[in-house]
Structure 1
Amino acid sequence: MVFGGARGIGAAAVKRLAEDGYDVSFTYVSRPDKAQELVEHIATAGGRAYAIKADSAKIDEIRSAVADAVAQFGQLKAVVVNAGIYRGAAIEDVTLHDLDEMLNINIRAVFLSIQASIPHLQDGGRVVTIGSNVANHTGHPGSSVYQLTKTAVAGLVKGVALDLAPRQITVNNIQPGPVETDLTADMIEHLIPRSPLKRVGKPQEIGALISYLVSEEAGYMTGASLTIDGGYTL
C-alpha cells in the first residue's frame, strides 16, 4: 500500500511495486484523473492497482483507506508512506495554518498511517517512509518547518523499527534530494548547478530504492535513513 501514490515519487513507487508483482493500493487526495490514469497504466501492463481517495490529514480517512485496501487485496505486505507537503517561508513569515498543516501531514499523518497499517501488515513485512535529505542538510532559507518535519520522520523510524522488530517487520526511511516532478518543475534549472552530478533525481530512481527496501534481500536493514540526492549533502 502506498499513501500518496498518484503522482511523482508515489506514482513511481506504485509502478515499480506493480512491476515487482505486487497488487498495489494507493491513496490520493486530489487529481482523480491522475489516479485513474495510473490504475489503467498498470492494468495495461498486466498488473493490478486500486486507487483510494483519502486525506492523510484525517485519521478516519486513513483508517478507512487501509480497510479498503485490505478488502481489495488482502493482508498488507508492504507500506510506503509518501504523503507530504512543503510550505516555504522565513521563520518570521510562517503562518500558524502552514505550520499546523506541515506538522499534520508530514509527521502526524506518517505516524497514523503506519499505526493504522500495522494490524494488517504480515509478519516479515516492510514499512518505508519518504523523508528528505534536508534532515541532514539545510537546503535553503525558508525550509525550517519542512526540515523539522523530515528530521522527525528520520527519528520516528528508529523507534518504530524497535517496536516492530519482534515481528520481523523492517522500517526504513528514504531521504531524497531534489527529484524531477511536477512540484519541482519551476525550480529544476536553479537546482541542477548545486548538484555534484549536475542533475536532479528521477522518480524511478526512488522507486528502485523502495523496491529494494521491500524485498527479501533487505531483511537485515531496519531503522535506517538512506539519502539519495546526487551528492547534495556531501
Structure 2
Amino acid sequence: MMNDVADSTDVAGTVALVTGGSRGIGAAIARKLASHGAAVALTYVQAAEQAKEVVAQIEAGGGRAIAIQADLTLPDAAVQAVEQTVRDLGGLDILVNNAGFLTYGPLDEVTETELDRVLAVDVRSVFLASQAAARHMREGGRVISIGSCFNGHVPAENFVLQAMAKSALVGLTKGLARELGSRGITATVVDPGPIDTDMNPEDGDSADFQRSLTALGRYGAAEDIANAVAYLAGPGGRYITGTALAVDGGYTV
C-alpha cells in the first residue's frame, strides 16, 4: 500500500474514517479523501441530513461512503464507529480524528460538565479510536488528528480549555508514532489556524482579531486543511510521523 510517490495524495483502494465528518473541516476532508480514491466513513452526532448530503456528494462523484451516528461523549462510540467502518467497508487504512469542540470562556466559568465533555471528545475518543483502528491497520496506515493553532500559541485569555485539550493530541501522536512505527503506521497532527466554518465564520465577532494574528492576514478555508490531510494520508506522507503540521496562515510565526 502507498509505495508509489508519483501522486502524493493517491489513496485509491484504501478505507478512511473521518470523525465529525458531516460539516466544516470534517466534511471537506471526507470529500477530499474520496476524490483521491478512498472509501470513506464519516461520523455525526445529530446532523443526519448534513451527513447524508456529504455521502450523496461522494457517491455522485463515483465514490463510496457511509455515515455513522456516533456520540463521542460516550466511551464506546469511537470503538463502535471503527468496527462498523471495518465491517461495512472492508477494512481501515486512514483514521482522521476530526471531531471536537471549539470552546472558549473565562477560566472561572468552565464547569466540570464542560471539562468532561471536551476531554471526552477531543482526547478520550481520539485515544480510543486510534487504539481500535491500530488493531486493523496494515503497513502504510495513517492516524491523523486535527489539533489547533493553540498547540503552539495561546494569544489571549479564555482559551485554556481548548489549548489543554488540543495540546494533548501532540503527546498522544508522539506516543502513537513510536508505538506503531515498527508496523509502518504513521501518526501526525494537523493544526489549523482560523478557518472559515459555521463554528468560526470569517465574519464572526472575533474574526478581525483572529485575522490580525496571522501572517497572511486572512482566514483559511476548510479545503486548506483537507489538502494537508490528503497529503499526509497519501504516499507523500509516508516518512512523516510523530509531528504536527501547522496550516494556520502564519498564526504561530
> What TM-score results when the alignment is normalised by the length of structure 2?
0.89
Does 2:218 align with 1:218? no
1:115 maps to 131
1:191 maps to 210
2:227 maps to 208
1:182 maps to 198
Identity of aligned residues (%): 38
The count of residues paired between Structure 1 and Structure 2 equals 234
- Give yes or no for contact 2:102–2:199 (8 Å, CA) kept in 1: no
What is the CA distance between 1:49 and its match in structure 2?
1.0
Does 2:119 align with 1:103? yes
Alpha-carbon separation, structure 2, partners of 1:139 and 1:116: 35
Alpha-carbon separation, structure 2, partners of 1:203 and 1:227: 14
2:5 maps to none
2:142 maps to 126
Alignment of 1:1-234 (within 5 A): 1-185=17-201, 186=204, 187-234=206-253
What is the CA distance between 1:196 and its match in structure 2?
2.0
Specify the SS of the correspondent of 2:99: coil
Alpha-carbon separation, structure 2, partners of 1:86 and 1:139: 15
2:4 maps to none
2:13 maps to none
Alpha-carbon separation, structure 2, partners of 1:149 and 1:215: 27
Alpha-carbon separation, structure 2, partners of 1:119 and 1:134: 31
- Give yes or no for contact 2:193–2:247 (8 Å, CA) kept in 1: yes
Specify the SS of the correspondent of 1:142: coil
Alpha-carbon separation, structure 1, partners of 2:238 and 2:63: 25
Alpha-carbon separation, structure 2, partners of 1:159 and 1:86: 25
How big is each residue's C-alpha offset from its partner over 1:27-62, in whole Å with a ceiling of 9 and x where there is no partner?
Answer: 111210100010111111111110000011223222
Alpha-carbon separation, structure 2, partners of 1:154 and 1:109: 15
Specify the SS of the correspondent of 1:76: coil
Specify the SS of the correspondent of 1:47: coil
Moved over 4 A (4+): none
Amino acid at match of 2:215: P
What is the CA distance between 1:157 and its match in structure 2?
0.2
Amino acid at match of 1:218: G
Alpha-carbon separation, structure 2, partners of 1:200 and 1:86: 16
How big is each residue's C-alpha offset from its partner over 1:85-112, in whole Å with a ceiling of 9 and x where there is no partner?
Answer: 1221111111111111111111111111
Alpha-carbon separation, structure 2, partners of 1:153 and 1:146: 12
Alpha-carbon separation, structure 2, partners of 1:129 and 1:203: 15
Alpha-carbon separation, structure 1, partners of 2:90 and 2:231: 22
Q: CA RMSD in A?
A: 1.2
- Give yes or no for contact 2:192–2:247 (8 Å, CA) kept in 1: yes
Alpha-carbon separation, structure 1, partners of 2:212 and 2:191: 20
Alpha-carbon separation, structure 1, partners of 2:155 and 2:162: 10
How big is each residue's C-alpha offset from its partner over 1:66-102, in whole Å with a ceiling of 9 and x where there is no partner?
Answer: 1211111111111100011122111111111111111
Specify the SS of the correspondent of 2:133: helix
Specify the SS of the correspondent of 2:118: helix
Specify the SS of the correspondent of 2:191: strand
Alpha-carbon separation, structure 2, partners of 1:61 and 1:194: 36
